Amino acid sequence: MIQIGDFVTRNSYNNDTVFKVINRKNDILYLKGVEFRLLADAKVSDCILIDKKKIKEFIPNDIDDDMQRSEYFYLPGKILHLDGDSEYLKRCMDFYKKNNVYAIGKKIDEKTIPNEIGELLEEVKPDIVIITGHDAYYRKKGVKTDIKNYKNSENFVKAIKKARKYEKSHDKLIIIAGACQSDYEDLIKAGANFASSPKRINIHALDPAIIATILSKTQRNKEVDLIDLLSKTRNGKDGIGGLVSNGTMFVGYPR
């Protein structure tokens, strides 16, 4: 008997993704991706139980650290992370803490991020802002070039535009936006520096945080190798793409 809190995969999708059961109504299970920012549902008959101990998690490589012990001191860029999912947000916040990056996280529903982002930017004054949560491309609705065929891409676009009203420069405010299967082209056109998903695939829960952390810990005005940066994420350029950007870390002297 599959119960809420169990871990399962779906036979109809070749058991390619592990989900946590977050609700059940009769023979329908409501699922949330363990690694990927993905919500789904499935019949109980389509799912098989997975032992949590056997789940192979994606562990990012150690973030290259420009902060060498010397007579200099280092001030990594400040991150504001807005996320529609509290569990994924916590994972990202733990990741920032592990990498000694100052980040402020806010759990905000994707639909309300556009209404709240302006005030939060004024309050926090970040160098980097992340706008993420859940999204999906509904292929049955139509072509991928129509933003109406996405779950939350339009909300992300509205939030990006609000952020760009606060700061027009892509160098002064780096915006990382999108979630699983998001409308990559429209997010970039709206003003994001980095966005998902070029191939309309699912992105890892930590992907936006990985991009932000590397940019935060790279010296200001030093250009980040874009191809190498994207390769640090779970699916590389298929999951996230973006613009050539500079780091946001200040270096000072003496310590």
pLDDT tens digits, one per residue of 209-248? 999 999 999 999 899 999 999 999 999 999 999 999 999 9
Task: Return the structure tokens found at 96.
Answer: 């920032």
* Residues 96 and 203 grouped into a single domain: yes
* Residues 169 and 217 grouped into a single domain: yes
Q: Model-level pTM greater than 0.95?
A: no
Sign (positive or negative) of CA dihedral 208, 214, 217, 221: negative
Residue 68 lies in a domain: no
CATH of the domain at 94: 3.40.50.2300
Q: Which residues contact 53 (CB under 8 A, 6 or more apart)?
A: none
Domain that includes residue 23, residue range? 7-51
**Cα–Cα distance measured from residue 232 to residue 214, given in angstroms and rounded to the nearest whole number:** 9
* Residues 88 and 205 grouped into a single domain: yes
In this prediction, the residues of the chain whose per-residue pLDDT falls under 70 are 61-62, 64-69
Of the candidates 99, 63, 56, the one whose C-alpha atom is nearest the C-alpha of residue 79 is: 99
Residue 2 lies in a domain: no
Task: Return the structure tokens found at 112.
Answer: 């309300």
Task: Return the structure tokens found at 186.
Answer: 């429209």
* Residues 47 and 160 grouped into a single domain: no
pLDDT at 132: 98
Amino acid present at 179: A
φ and ψ of 102, to 5 deg:
-85, 115
Residue 59 lies in a domain: no
* Residues 83 and 203 grouped into a single domain: yes
φ and ψ of 76, to 5 deg:
-60, 155
Given the structure tokens 């329908």, which residue do they identify? 28
* Residues 42 and 77 grouped into a single domain: no
* Residues 131 and 236 grouped into a single domain: yes
* Residues 152 and 28 grouped into a single domain: no
* Residues 42 and 85 grouped into a single domain: no
Residue 66 lies in a domain: no
Amino acid present at 132: T
Residue 44 lies in a domain: yes
Residue 57 lies in a domain: no
* Residues 156 and 244 grouped into a single domain: yes
Distances (CA, A) of 163 to 181, 206, 213: 22, 22, 20
* Residues 100 and 201 grouped into a single domain: yes
pLDDT at 67: 63
Cβ-defined contacts of 98-107 (< 8 Å, 24+): 99/63, 99/213, 99/217, 100/67, 100/76, 101/76, 101/212, 101/213, 101/216, 101/217, 102/76, 102/78, 103/78, 103/79, 103/212, 104/78, 104/79, 104/80, 105/81, 106/80, 106/81, 106/82, 107/83
Pinpoint the alpha helices (H) of the chain. Answer: 86-98, 113-124, 153-166, 184-190, 207-216, 226-231
Residue 61 lies in a domain: no
Q: How many domains does the chain have?
A: 2
Given the structure tokens 């606060």, which residue do they identify? 166
* Residues 28 and 133 grouped into a single domain: no
